[in-house]
Amino acid sequence: MALLEIRNLHAHVEGNEILRGINLTVNAGEVHSIMGPNGSGKSTLAQVLAGKDAYEITEGEVIYNGKDLLDMEPDERACEGVFLAFQYPVEIPGVSTNYFLRAAVNAKRKHHGQDELDAVDFLELVKEKAALVELDSKLLNRAVNEGFSGGEKKRNEIFQMSVLDPTLAILDETDSGLDIDALKTVAHGVNTLRGPERAMIVVTHYQRLLDYIVPDFVHVLREGRIVKSGGKELALELEAKGYAWVDEEIKTAAAAS
């Protein structure tokens, strides 16, 4: 059974159809990359999977771990192992990153019937993971993302991901805004998490990230549909030829059939 099965997913926002029939199967152990031009619906797909209620699902279904994902509240999805690294991480003034993350860890533990982590155990866990993504531990005492630089915010997302240890991680343009060194550390954090139990969906515009996080599959999203899928070489091809090339391909294919 696949870890994630998206079938004919349609989603609207404010009367506009953004996702127009997405089909995607993700097995445990796989890394899928989603590419596509601005506005094609990549973030929308990520947010719909995470459960943002601004989107109205008009058709289709999503099965995660054998359960109806769309039927679950966002916090329940998170506790069941779905993690979204946001394209635009949100600031929460007055709430320290440590406090926030401990609440998150304990919510998940509670959900699985485990005891809550005490402050000491939690700090130990956090220290290890912060070192992994080279996140300055001073940031952990500051309010969540408040005044963080763009790169710090992205690093913080990957840091949270490694602490929360998800089953399905969705990374929405985690690479944008990162300098080359940061990109490598972030990729290292992600790769550490790769394993046979886990799957990842990595949204990016740049082939560069995929040099470090090598995907098993690459999909091209265009106007709310996956129009092309392939192996990791597809990303290289896209980089060289641009999205117009995909459009040409599709046209040619349509003419031939």
Partner 1 sequence: MPDASNTLEQWEKQEYKYGFVTDIEADAAPPGLNEDIIRFISAKKREPEFMLEWRLKAYRHWLTMTEPTWANIKYPPINYQDIVYYSSPIKDEDRPKSLDDVDPKLLETYEKLGIPLAERAALAGVAVDAVFDSVSVATTYKKKLGELGIIFCSFSEAVHEHPELIKKYLGTVVPYTDNFFATLNSAVFSDGSFVYVPKGVHCPMELSTYFRINAQSTGQFERTLIIADEGAHVSYLEGCTAPMRDENQLHAAVVELIAHKDATIKYSTIQNWYPGDKNGVGGIYNFVTKRGICAEENSRISWTQVETGSSITWKYPSVVLKGDNSVGEFYSVALTNLCQQADTGTKMIHIGKNTKSTIISKGISAGRGQNTYRGGVRINKGASNARNYTQCDSMLIGEDCGAHTFPYIEVKNTSAHMEHEASTSKIGEDQLFYCNQRGIKLEDAVSMIVNGFCKEVFRELPMEFAVEAQKLLEVSLEGSVG
Ligand X SMILES: Nc1ncnc2c1ncn2[C@@H]1O[C@H](COP(=O)(O)OP(=O)(O)OP(=O)(O)O)[C@@H](O)[C@H]1O
Told to check if 40 binds Mg ion by CB under 5 A, we report: no
Q: Which residue do the tokens 């641009």 mark?
A: 242
User: Which residue, judged by CB position, is nearest to Mg ion in the bound state?
Assistant: 43
Closer CB to Mg ion, residue 101 or residue 200? Answer: 200
Quick one: which of 108, 122, 40, 121 has its CA closest to 76?
Answer: 108
**What is the four-CA torsion angle of 90, 212, 33, 14, rounded to 10 degrees?**
20
Distance CA 213, CA 253 (A): 30
- The interface with ligand X within residues 227-256 (CB under 6 A) comprises none
44 is an interface residue for ligand X by CB under 6 A: yes
Binding mask 64-103 for partner 1 (x = CB under 8 A): ---------xxx-xxx---xx-x--xxxxxxx---xxx-x
Closest distance to Mg ion from the beta carbon of 118 (Å): 38
Query: Contact between 193 and partner 1 (CB under 8 A)?
Result: no
Q: Of these partners, partner 1, Mg ion, ligand X, none, which one is at the site of residue 40 (CB under 5 to 8 Å by kind)?
A: ligand X
Nearest CA to 125 out of 113, 114, 137 is that of 137
Candidates 33, 43, 160, 162; binder of Mg ion (CB under 5 A) is: 43
- What is the rounded distance in angstroms from the CA atom of residue 202 to the CA atom of residue 186? 12
Asked if 54 interacts with ligand X (CB under 6 A), we say yes
Choosing among Mg ion, ligand X, partner 1, none, which partner's interface includes residue 41 (Cβ < 5 to 8 Å by kind)?
A: ligand X
Q: Using CB distances below 5 to 8 A depending on partner kind, what does residue 104 bind out of partner 1, Mg ion, ligand X, none?
A: partner 1
Three-state SS at 202: strand
Q: How many CA atoms lie within 13 A of 50 on its CB side?
A: 19
CA 82 to CA 212: how far, in whole Å? Answer: 22
Task: Determine if 18 is a binding residue for ligand X (CB under 6 A).
Answer: yes
Concatenate the DSSP letters of all residues of 80-136 into one string.
TTEEEE-SSPPPEEEEEHHHHHHHHHHHHHHHTTPPPPPHHHHHHHHHHHHHHTT--
- Whole-angstrom distance between the N-terminal and C-terminal Cα of the chain? 32
- Give the whole-angstrom CA distance, residue 206 versus residue 202: 11
Stretch that binds Mg ion, among 24-32, 35-43, 67-75, 146-154 (CB under 5 A): 35-43
Q: Which listed option, ligand X, partner 1, Mg ion, none, makes contact with residue 207 (CB within 5 to 8 Å by class)? A: none
Q: Which parts of this chain interact with ligand X (CB under 6 A)? A: 13-14, 16, 18, 36, 38-44, 54, 87
Q: Which parts of this chain interact with partner 1 (CB under 8 A)? A: 50-54, 73-75, 77-79, 83-84, 86, 89-95, 99-101, 103-104, 107-108, 111, 143, 160, 164
Q: Which parts of this chain interact with Mg ion (CB under 5 A)? A: 42-43, 87
